[in-house]
Amino acid sequence: MSRKLIAQRTQDLDHAADYRSWREIALELDRLEGGDAWKQDDTSDDYDYLLIRERLTELRRLRQAGDARQLAFDLYEGLHGNLGNISSPLLYGGARVGTKRLIEEYIAEVTRCLDFVCAGDFADFGFEEKIQFFKRTAIAFGRSALLLSGGGTLGMFHLGVIKALHAESLLPRVISGSSAGSIIAGTVGTRVDSELDALFEPGGLNLDAFQALGLREALRGGAMMDGAQLERCLEANIGDQSFVEAFDHSKRIVCVTVSPAEPHQQGRLLNYLTAPHVMLRRAVLASCAVPGVFPPVMLQARNYEGQIVPYMPGKRWVDGTISSDLPMLRIARLHNVNHYIVSQTNPHIVPFMAQIDRQQQGRRGLAPLAAELVKSGGSGALSLARKHLDPYASGRVLGKIDNVVRQRYSGDINIYPRSTPRRILRTFSNPAPEDIQRYVRSGERATWPKLERIRNQTRISRAFEDCLRLLKGREHELLQQRGRPSVRRAAR
């Protein structure tokens, strides 16, 4: 009976209408399949449960004793996102929902301690010390970012990922996009939370981006699609905001990657720090300019008088995935990010994502080894070929291919669609409204099994952001009461 019930509930899981229903069924399956018993058992070879148990006991004791100074000292000295290996993917394979109860209790206690220190008034731990503690510890701990890959029309899958994260208040403030992913990142980055829900409704997003050119125009311009049509689509979705204007409105940090169309240039990560006055719409247009499909793009920026003018007018930019589909290193340096949630829809990468996930979970096999050998061998062969070819012709083309081969396409948590030939064949076609809803649904459903892991692994960094926001507001009020002018610094 139990086996039959498990089979039935597994089918029900595949047809759940929303995350709440999915989670209830998954929790029931955890009870039936033994996942609950696994979660209740603290012991495991995959993490240092003795260390976590000891830390949990000590933090709880200090909080209950009201010893804010010692508590802050212990948190500053010992807080780490992967303390005792608690972020290991192996610890999210024993149950459908969540992980070891000990880990969840530890994370919950850390956030309670942060809230306690933030909200309380302590005679021996003043406000200035409190501000300093939260700023320094937050920098040491780091935070998460959502990275949206390229993938043409397949990139509409990202919209479902955004919807699922937004519904659970788990959407990171740092969002990066390349090519198709930049469309979604730019659209979300120009909206506050209350404006997001409309995007997920039918007609909420203008995706009439592809308009084929005639043969003569295509041969003359070197591109099959009309760039002006794509720009009209982006203008409808993103509007006329610069990166810094979008940040001031939404408080989201939007990053867009672009690649150079000419030699002697490097790919760039554009955001409100590196290119504050560049027009977000034009950056996205450049990031979507797949060579041979759309023409290269000149960026634009708002000048001191507020006029839109050319930005580096002698340079043209193309598809961001060529130089950096997932710009992890640059985002880490600029925005203190050390944890990456990746939504991956590149058609040449998606077929391997399940193998990458299995490898992260410690399941070995020939497929991951073969993929790594092909990658390393292919890159070596390309590097050798580049040395013996004209650097301004074939060598430059091989250089771009080499960049694509060398890149890392996965993060700490990976979300990806089921690859189908039908979807790949429609990579550069305008999706019908019903197609968009299917992509959104696919993105949601692929995200649901990862939500509790995302919730656990981002909970402490989200607590830091909330506490710093409250403390900065209180600092502003205190300065006003003292009659001193305050400078409202933008959040990092």
Say if residue 221 is in the same domain as residue 345. Answer: yes
Say if residue 204 is in the same domain as residue 353. Answer: yes
The answer to the question of residue 3 being in a domain is: no
CA distance 98 to 380: 41
∠ CA 404-410-411, nearest 5°, is 135
Q: Which of 44, 144, 149, 179 is catalytic?
A: 179
Residue 480: which residues within 8 A CB-CB, separation 6 or more? 486
Say if residue 60 is in the same domain as residue 193. Answer: no
Question: How many CB atoms are located within 10 Å of the residue 411 CB?
Answer: 21
Q: Catalytic residue at 30?
A: no
Say if residue 115 is in the same domain as residue 148. Answer: no
Calculate mean pLDDT across residues 115-124. Answer: 94
Say if residue 127 is in the same domain as residue 263. Answer: no
Say if residue 104 is in the same domain as residue 191. Answer: no
Query: What residue spans of 120-226 are helical by DSSP H?
Result: 127-141, 157-167, 180-189, 193-196, 215-221
What tens digit of pLDDT does each residue of 108-117 get? 999 999 999 9
Q: Which of 319, 325, 402, 412 is catalytic?
A: 319
CA distance 347 to 356: 15
- pTM (2 decimals)? 0.88
Range of the structural domain that residue 79 is part of: 34-141+452-478
CA distance 182 to 318: 12
* Pairing assessment for the beta strands 337-343 and 174-177 based on DSSP bridges: unpaired
What tens digit of pLDDT does each residue of 256-298 get? 999 999 887 889 999 999 999 999 999 999 999 988 888 899 9
Say if residue 267 is in the same domain as residue 135. Answer: no
Q: Is the dihedral of CA 378, 383, 388, 391 positive or negative?
A: positive
Say if residue 109 is in the same domain as residue 181. Answer: no
Residue 169 phi, psi dihedral angles, 5° rounding:
55, 40
The answer to the question of residue 183 being in a domain is: yes
Q: Catalytic residue at 179?
A: yes
Say if residue 86 is in the same domain as residue 152. Answer: no
What tens digit of pLDDT does each residue of 204-235 get? 887 776 565 555 565 566 666 667 788 889 99
Say if residue 156 is in the same domain as residue 121. Answer: no
Task: Please say whether the beta carbons of 471 and 158 come within 8 A.
Answer: no
Say if residue 72 is in the same domain as residue 175. Answer: no
The answer to the question of residue 485 being in a domain is: no
Look at residue 200 and tell me whether its pLDDT is greater than 80. Answer: yes
Say if residue 122 is in the same domain as residue 156. Answer: no
For the chain, what is the domain count?
2
| pLDDT band at residue 357 using 50, 70 and 90 as cut-offs | confident
The answer to the question of residue 391 being in a domain is: yes
According to DSSP, the residues that pair with 269 across neighbouring strands are 257
CA distance 6 to 11: 9
The answer to the question of residue 5 being in a domain is: no
Q: Among 150-159, 306-315, 328-337, where is mean pLDDT lowest?
A: 150-159
Look at residue 196 and tell me whether its pLDDT is greater than 90. Answer: yes
The answer to the question of residue 13 being in a domain is: no
The answer to the question of residue 254 being in a domain is: yes
